[in-house]
Amino acid sequence: MKKSLIAAIVAAGLMVAAIPGSAFAHECFNASRSARGNAGASNSQAWLTVSIEEFYGDPELGLTQAQAAQAVQLALESGVPHTFTIFIGNHTIGEGTPAFSQFGKGADGQGIDHVFDAYGQQLVTALCTVVPAHPFCAAP
């Protein structure tokens, strides 16, 4: 279950992050929660902690180990957190509310944010720096 979920997150997230302004049911995370809080949340069936090593190392992305390691390093250097504890329930927290759609609260570093709103550009930039010819890096 976890492996297929990570694959889906990678594929959907990178495709959407590469398309500015796209509407997407983003992966929610609590940007204000402590590491201890994230550890506790990971014990719930509604939250899953995913590292960026898992993200770039997912076979669906097709990177070698060296490419994945380089992408991880670039992402970390650009400010992407090492892990995300994401909500994996049957809806997206905050989706469709004015706070997210009108006021940009999905990437403000406080409360509930969406991974690809907050860090999508950095994740794609790291990937495309390492593998410029990757399908996710092709110009539209």
What are the tokens at 28? 């929610």
Residue 48: name the closest of 77, 74, 19, 27 by CA.
27
Q: What are phi and psi of 88, to 5 degrees?
A: -120, 25
Walk along the chain (140 residues) and give the pLDDT tens digit of each residue: 455 545 555 555 554 444 343 333 447 778 888 888 878 887 888 888 888 998 899 888 899 999 999 999 999 999 999 988 887 766 655 555 555 555 556 667 777 777 888 888 999 999 999 999 998 887 65
**Does the reported pTM lie above 0.75?**
no
